[in-house]
Structures are given as structure tokens and as C-alpha cells.
Structure 1
Amino acid sequence: MTVDQLLQALALPDSTRVQQRVPKKLLVEHGAATAQDKRLIQDGIDEITWLASLKPHLIGVPEHEDEHRHYREAAVLSLSLRPGTRPARLVELLHRAVPHPVLLATTVDDSLGLSVAHLRRSQTEAEQVVQDGPLMSVQVPPEGGGAAFRTALALANQPRTDLFALVQGWMDTIAALDAAQETGSFVPSTSRAQAEARHAALQQFRGLRAQAAELRARAMKERQLARQVALNEELRSISALMESLRQKLMVGGG
């Protein structure tokens, strides 16, 4: 999937389009906490583009305000990195630098990553916002995630209660694509509770996979037969649990 294909999938109103290049110095001034971050921005980023601004009067979705946050708009940005650049830190810096929730498309070495996070008011600095909760991110498969994913991304298919719900909808859609990396099939979540259950199952699945890899390595080195048998039995139990979790991911976590 390319950035242009992403924009086609999002199906945003023409009135939201910005298509404006963002100078790297703005990210240096507002996002770089250390000299190392500044070097990473200068050396790793090729281009930052503000693709679209999703304001209530342009998309028909109300703003959101509660005691923790005030979403007046959301944004769609692209981040183009130079070959060989590791994106994780730069993606984090950009999300923290923009005062609105951002759906970010990051391209590097012919791959596309999508990320989004919630923001909240800073408890220590007036008029500042900070990331609220984990960053939701995923690498989009070369084929673009399939027609079902591209359909699910569309603005018209996101919750429209308010901008918080819209951002959460994109987070849940990205999380469903992340689950599809393990199941081979994209299945959108049908509710917030289902999305949360799937995300928890996915984290547990990946934790068990790492545990299984460690057990296999230990079993290969083990010389005592009884201990080998015990390790293999533990592996079988983990594999059975992983398969159960995989089924939950495939049917939507229910």
C-alpha cells in the first residue's frame, strides 16, 4: 500500500485535504528532547507531509471534550524516511509533537506503517498535550491488507459519535490488521469490548510465542531425557493455548 492508496481507502472529503509539507525544524523544536533525537530527525527524515485536517464542520463528526482531553480536530500525516532508517523513535516523536491526534503513514524501504494514539492534557505543563496510552501501530502487508481492511479504514465506516470515537475506531481497525498478521485473515472488530479482548489475546499470543521459542532452545540443549520430556510437554501446553487464542483472534475475540 502506498500513501496515495491509503488516502483512497480513507475516502476523505476533498475539503479536508491539506497536502502541505511540514519543515523538519518544527519537529526538532517541538518534538526533540535530546541531541540524539535532533540528529535522528535531520539524518533519518526525508519529508513530513500534512495530508488532511479532519475538523468537525468538514467531516460532520463533533469535537470531543472531557476532563482529560479536548479534540478539536484530527490529522492525517505522512512521514517519509531515508533508506535504512529505523522508524520507531521518529514515529513516537512525531505523535508527541503534534497537538492533535494523528493517523500517521510512515514509509521506509518500500514498506508502509500505520500508527495512531490518543492524547491528553499534560498534568504538569499548561496548554501541552501528552500521549495517552500505548501507540497503536502496524506494518501494512505488501498487498495492502486486502479489500476488507481498505474498506474498514474508510471515514464513513468509523464511529461518528465524536472525534475521540473516530480516533478509537482507527486504532481498533489497525489493531485488527495486527491480529491478521497472525491469522492470515482481516476481521474487523464489531465493538469496543471485542476490540479490547482481541488486543489482549494478541499480546498474550505473542508472549507465549516468545516463551515457546525459549523453551525450544532449552530443549535442544538439554541432555537429560526426563528434562527434555518435561520441556516438550510444556511446549505442547503452550501450543494448545496459542491455538485457542488464534481462534479467538480469527472470530473477533468472542
Structure 2
Amino acid sequence: MTITPHTIREALALPPGGDPARRLPKDVLAEHGAAHAADRKLIDKAIERLDWWATLSPTTIGVAAAADDDRPVPAIQLLALTARAEPTQRLLTIIHRAIPVPIILLTALPGGAGTRVSFAPLRRAERIGDKMVVERLVVAPDCTDAAEPATAAFIASLAVPALPRLNLRLLYDGLVERAEALEIARLTGQPFRLVDDPAARREALARYREAEAAWLAARAAAKREKALAKQIALGAEVRQLRSQVDEILQQLED
């Protein structure tokens, strides 16, 4: 069964009721999320529609707001994006940046190919106190097959009543942790699982991405190189970087 944004919404197990869903105009994204004309063109080209589905707040789910000076979370918004074209990381960042509170963005991929779930913790801008900026974009691997074990476990872990409930920031962090856990499960082939120290695993995941990018760049350079001596040197570098990638991957499996 193909996973849709509605599948994820049901998995969140939000309280019944609430305001009806409503469509958000693209002008909102262009005004608050687009940095230049290319962003506005991307919004027009890639977005079929964007809908607001729900607000997670102290009133709606009974979890206190987070009043942190740098990273306040008064509410979390649930939005559904219908993508007309492949939703790039740039497009997802624009959407997350346009809303002044953290959002859970459920993107229906073109052609009914599944759903992409993304998150973006926010912090106050250093020079503009009332402006929130994206601290980092976290995109879970695409959810396409509900029967795939790691995907099924990820979806089952999203129920809001089972997430950290001390405050909304910790609840949102719990969702981010689950997205990262799904990525690691896909990378390692291991079962989906949460860990006691998600920050350490996040750091290892960042090192893996950096090492993999360096390995891919070195491998591409080696394929382009014509001089034999440089090919040999680059080949040695490729092997060394591959060893680093495998070492970090082993750490992620533990």
C-alpha cells in the first residue's frame, strides 16, 4: 500500500475535531520564505497546493509551549504539500522558513510515489529578534511502502501521545529523532530503533554524510583524471575515504 500524507496524519493520532483544513496561498510562501526571484519561480513550478491541516498546541494536545529564549516553540503546525515536481531541499527549506513556528511537512510526491516527511527546528535570528530562521532541515527517507519494516516502525512511532510531552520543543525533537532513526535504518539495513543518546547518533550521522560526500567527490575525480600518476593517487584517496565511510557506518549499526 502506498503511503500518503493522510497515512502519516492518522499515525500522529491527533485528538478529533479542530478547525477544517484550509488551503494556503503561494503568496504567503513567496512573501515570507522566498529569498529571491528564483525561489518564487520554484514555488510556482513545484507546488500544486499547500494545505494547513492542524495545530499542535497546549490547547489542542495538552503539551506545554517551550519558552526558550533562542528556540521558542509556542505551537507546531501540520501542513500537507502536494508536489507538482520533485520537491528539492531548497523548496522544503522555503516552506519551513515561511512559517514562524516549527512545522511537520507531509509532501505527497508526484505520480503517487509516496510521502516525504520533513522537519526543521527553528531559532531566533541573531540580529532580528522577532524573526525565526531554519537551524537545519531534517528530511526522512521517502515513505513509499507501508509493508517495509523500517517504514512501518517509523510510522507506528509517530503517535503524539507516545512522544515526549514535557513541552512542545521536546515533542518536536522526538519527531526529528524518529526521522533520523529511519534514515539510519535505511543506511545500515538494521531495524528501526531509537537510542538513549540521539545527539551522539546525530553527530555520527553528520560525519557519515560528510565522509560519503568526500568519497563520492574523490571517486568522480578519479574517473575524470587522465594522468596515470594522479589516477593512482586518487585511487588511494578513494580507498581511504571508503574505509572512513564504512567505519562510521559500523558505528551507526552499533
**Considering the TM-score relative to the shorter chain, is it more than 0.5?**
yes
- Partner in structure 1 of residue 54 of structure 2: 52
For 2:118, which of 110, 115, 118 is the aligned residue? Answer: 115
CA displacement at 1:162 relative to structure 2: 0.2
Matches within 5 A, 1:1-254: 1-16=3-18, 18-82=20-84, 84-109=85-110, 110-131=113-134, 133-144=135-146, 145-191=150-196, 194-216=197-219, 218=222, 223=228, 228=232, 235-251=238-254
CA separation of 1:183/1:221 partners in 2, compared to 1, >3 Å: closer, same or farther?
farther
Unpaired runs of at least 5, structure 1? none
Unpaired runs of at least 5, structure 2? none
Q: CA RMSD in A?
A: 2.6
Whole-angstrom CA distance in 2 between matches of 1:20 and 1:195: 35
CA separation of 1:87/1:222 partners in 2, compared to 1, >3 Å: closer, same or farther?
same
AA in 1 matched with 2:159? A
CA separation of 1:221/1:49 partners in 2, compared to 1, >3 Å: closer, same or farther?
same
Tell me which protein shows more strand as a share of its residues: 1
Whole-angstrom CA distance in 1 between matches of 2:217 and 2:172: 37
TM-score by length of 1: 0.83
Higher mean displacement: 135-144 or 87-96 = 135-144
CA separation of 1:156/1:85 partners in 2, compared to 1, >3 Å: closer, same or farther?
same
Give the secondary-structure state (helix, strand or coil) at the position aligned to 1:32. Answer: coil
Whole-angstrom CA distance in 1 between matches of 2:127 and 2:238: 47
CA displacement at 1:91 relative to structure 2: 1.2
AA in 2 matched with 1:13? P
Question: What's the CA shift string for 1:221-254, capped at 9, x where partnerless?
Answer: 6635x974x7666555544443332232223xxx
Give the secondary-structure state (helix, strand or coil) at the position aligned to 1:247. Answer: helix
The answer to whether the 8 Å contact 1:176/1:186 transfers is no
Whole-angstrom CA distance in 2 between matches of 1:17 and 1:185: 40
Whole-angstrom CA distance in 2 between matches of 1:212 and 1:42: 35
CA displacement at 1:158 relative to structure 2: 1.4
CA displacement at 1:18 relative to structure 2: 4.2
Give the secondary-structure state (helix, strand or coil) at the position aligned to 1:4. Answer: helix
AA in 2 matched with 1:128? K
Higher mean displacement: 35-44 or 51-60 = 35-44
CA separation of 1:240/1:29 partners in 2, compared to 1, >3 Å: closer, same or farther?
closer
TM-score by length of 2: 0.83
Whole-angstrom CA distance in 2 between matches of 1:135 and 1:96: 10
Whole-angstrom CA distance in 2 between matches of 1:187 and 1:68: 32
Whole-angstrom CA distance in 2 between matches of 1:186 and 1:75: 29
CA displacement at 1:81 relative to structure 2: 1.6
